[in-house]
Structure formats: C-alpha cells, structure tokens
C-alpha cells in the first residue's frame, strides 16, 4: 500500500516539529462511505494508527489539519484533534471590502480599465463566496482584458461580473451540493462532531480545570 508507506514516512519526518496537513479530507475521508475504495480505507486506518502512536509515545509534535469539506471527514479523525476552529465565509461588509480591494488595485494597474460598479450590490449578490472566489473572478476579468488586446476602454460593469459568475462558479455552488448531499444522508450531520470557536473551547477547558480542582480537594 503506497499510501500507507507514505503515511509512515510522513510521520517519521514530522517528529519534533509542527506538521500541517492541508486538504485533510483527501487522506482522512469517511471509511463508511460506500464509494471509497479499500485502499483508501486502509490508508485512513494507517493515518489514525500513526497519530495514536505519536500521542502514546509523547513526541514533541503539533499536528494541524485543514479542510473545506469537514462533513466528509471520518468521525475518528475528528476525535484525534483537540481543537476544532471554524473559519466562516466573509459576511456582507467583508465581501464588499474584498471587492473594493481587488478591483481598485486592478484599476490602478491598468489605466484602460473603466469601473462602473456598485460594490454594495455585488457583495449582496456574492453571498456564500470566499475571498479566493472573488480573486479568481478578478483574474478572469483581467484575462478577458488581455485577450481584448488592451482596447482603449475596457468597461467592467455589474452585469459583466454577474454573467461571469455564472460560468466560473465558486464556493457557494459547492455548498449547495453539500447541503443536498447532507439531506440525502439523513442525520449523518448530527452524528459528526461540529467545529466550535476558540472562545468556546477555552470556556470548556476552564470549566474542566475547576472541576478537577474540586475533586482534588
């Protein structure tokens, strides 16, 4: 199993350091998923075994994992991590500021680009989109500008942006798919541990410490 061998080498090299596992869902997917092949299930088992071994041997290692698809993670993988921190998508004001930042920088770099935009309106229309989605949108417009051979005036309007959004998609489209899948899976969402904020975590830890002190007394 080359994936299992890779997992072993990964943790051997990661001792005495901080190990960051990006796109964690690619190696820790739900083993009960009937669409997963046996090879991947064995890899998840090996991953969990390696984490347990490192914890048991008390290695000076911090493991951090990130994912955009927490609902696809194996429930056992959730339990291997003490801290679960959720980073929400930007709200209305944050989307507006992100749009202003990227488009104003684009305007500064190219004098031929004319902006006729209502950032408040666009921010409302882009609910559910991430900063990377907005950046990708601006890059797509810039490529269109370059393809036009830098005509005298390249107008970017609200309608142009909204028509482009329909083609490039984004995080919101993926969320819609996830919601549909969650409904088809029944109560699976309720069975999985939900992420919570760091403030909630600290409150829990403080409460545990107080309870332990009372028991010692």
Query: For the whole model, what pTM was predicted?
Result: 0.59
pLDDT digit string (tens) for the chain, length 217 residues? 444 455 556 556 555 678 888 999 888 888 887 777 777 788 888 888 888 887 777 767 788 999 988 888 999 999 989 899 988 889 999 999 999 999 999 888 888 888 999 999 999 999 889 898 999 999 998 888 888 876 678 889 999 998 888 777 666 554 443 333 444 444 444 444 444 444 455 455 556 655 655 555 5
Q: Between the CA atoms of 51, 53, 59 and 60, what dihedral angle is there, to the nearest 10 degrees? A: 10
- With left for phi above 0 and alpha for psi between -120 and 50, is residue 169 left, alpha or beta? left
User: Among all chains, which residue has been given the structure tokens 């991947």?
Assistant: 40
Token duo for residue 93: 């004001």
Domain extent listing, the chain: 2-86, 92-172
Instruction: Provide the CATH topology of domain 92-172.
Output: Helicase, Ruva Protein; domain 3 (1.10.8)
User: Same topology for domains 2-86 and 92-172, yes or no?
Assistant: no
Whole-number pLDDT of residue 180: 38
Best CATH choice for the domain 2-86 from the list 3.20.20.80, 3.50.50.60, 3.40.50.850, 3.40.50.300: 3.40.50.300
3-state secondary structure 31-81: CCCCCCCHHHHHHHHHHHHHHHHHHHCCCCCEEEECCCCHHHECHHHHHCC
Read off the tokens for 1. 């199993």
């Amino acid at each position: 199993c080359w994936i299992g061998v890779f997992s072993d080498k990964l943790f051997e090299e990661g001792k005495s350091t901080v190990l960051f596992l990006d796109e964690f869902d690619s190696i820790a997917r739900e083993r009960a998923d009937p669409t997963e092949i046996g090879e991947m299930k064995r890899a998840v088992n090996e991953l969990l075994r390696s984490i347990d071994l490192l914890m048991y041997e008390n290695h000076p290692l911090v493991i951090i994992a990130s994912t955009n698809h927490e609902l696809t993670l194996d429930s056992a993988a959730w339990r291997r991590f003490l801290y679960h921190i959720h980073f929400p998508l930007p709200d209305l004001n944050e989307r507006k500021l992100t749009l202003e930042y990227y488009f104003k920088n684009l305007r500064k770099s190219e004098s031929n680009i004319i902006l006729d935009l209502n950032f408040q309106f666009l921010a409302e229309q882009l609910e559910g989109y991430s900063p990377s989605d907005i950046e990708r949108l601006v890059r797509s417009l810039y490529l269109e500008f370059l393809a036009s051979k830098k005509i005298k005036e390249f107008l970017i309007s609200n309608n142009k942006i909204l028509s482009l959004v329909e083609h490039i998609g984004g995080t919101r489209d993926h969320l819609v798919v996830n919601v549909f899948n969650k409904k088809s899976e029944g109560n699976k969402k309720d069975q999985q541990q939900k992420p919570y904020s760091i403030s909630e975590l600290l409150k829990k830890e403080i409460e545990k410490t107080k309870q332990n002190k009372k028991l010692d007394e």
